[in-house]
Amino acid sequence: MSERVGEERTGEHRGGEHSPLITPEELAALADVTILDVRWRLGGPPGIESYREGHVPGAVFCDLNADLAAPPGQAGRHPLPSPEDFGAAMRRLGVSGARPVVVYDDADSTSAARAWWTLRYFGHGDVRVLDGGLRAWTKAGLPVSKEEGPVTPGDFTARPGGMPVLDADQAAALAVDGVLLDARAAERYRGEVEPVDPVAGHIPGAVSAPTSENVEPGGRFHSGSFLRERFNTLGAVEGVPVGAYCGSGVTAAHEVLALEIAGLPAALYAGSWSNWVADPGRPVATG
């Protein structure tokens, strides 16, 4: 089950017109593409510092907090931006509706997946994630650059509705009538620790499905068949509605991406746990 797709066997989720992933070699061969560097760490340091130390040539830095989320509040720590704000941010970064977009980070594609999902949600039809991120790019012997050239503004118009979303009530219902996956680390799901939000635990009925199990040690996604088997064992099978949440809607986007690789469409609870616990009347489960 741990075979690398595109190495030991024919790729089943790599490359191709309909894949959400792209390999370093495929990206290097693209002539007309917008590349967004979405490096980010919860608590810092700012990803722009890493970007300036070296990035994929031609990439533009995309700030997860400023460009892919609205300010924190009752809606969560990373609520969805308004269409107007998101569209303006993407145009500033050079995103156009008819030009492919590739997003990457330097870890396991967690923050890149948030960019992938948000662009898809707001209507961009051709967005892919660099599988393995900058580490895979450099491991392939491809060059990095420190150049920050001028960006030609894009023409992207944000139109919400391209990906399914859940609010708190819908997430609670899905935990009963379908499968609601909790993408956080297992100890946060169980309520043993909570390093960020004021309340520990999980949404009653949710199933623990840490995103760390979606990728191999090097940060590349497991094969589609591996992921499909993984999610099937958690109850996510064809015909059953599936959703995902995390702390603030970032790692849950990674879960939705992994589910898409597995051929299992899923909705995102964008507000996630930080929105859930903002209402003290909502139930909390532990254990």
CA pair distance 177, 197, nearest whole angstrom: 27
Q: What is the pLDDT of residue 239?
A: 96
For range 42-50, the mean pLDDT: 84
CATH code, 60: 3.40.250.10
Pick the last residue of a domain from 86, 104, 139.
139
Q: What rounded mean pLDDT belongs to the chain?
A: 93
Query: Which residues carry out catalysis?
Result: 246
What are the residue ranges of helices labelled H in 56-166? 64-67, 83-92, 110-121, 133-139
Q: What is the pLDDT of residue 250?
A: 97
CA pair distance 213, 26, nearest whole angstrom: 25
pTM: 0.93
User: Quick check: is 73 in a domain?
Assistant: yes
Domain containing 181 equals 165-276
Pick the last residue of a domain from 139, 154, 189.
139
Pick the last residue of a domain from 99, 121, 139.
139
Question: Tens digits of per-residue pLDDT, 102-133?
Answer: 999 998 999 999 999 999 999 999 999 999 99
Q: What is the pLDDT of residue 59?
A: 98
Tokens 């979303």, residue? 165
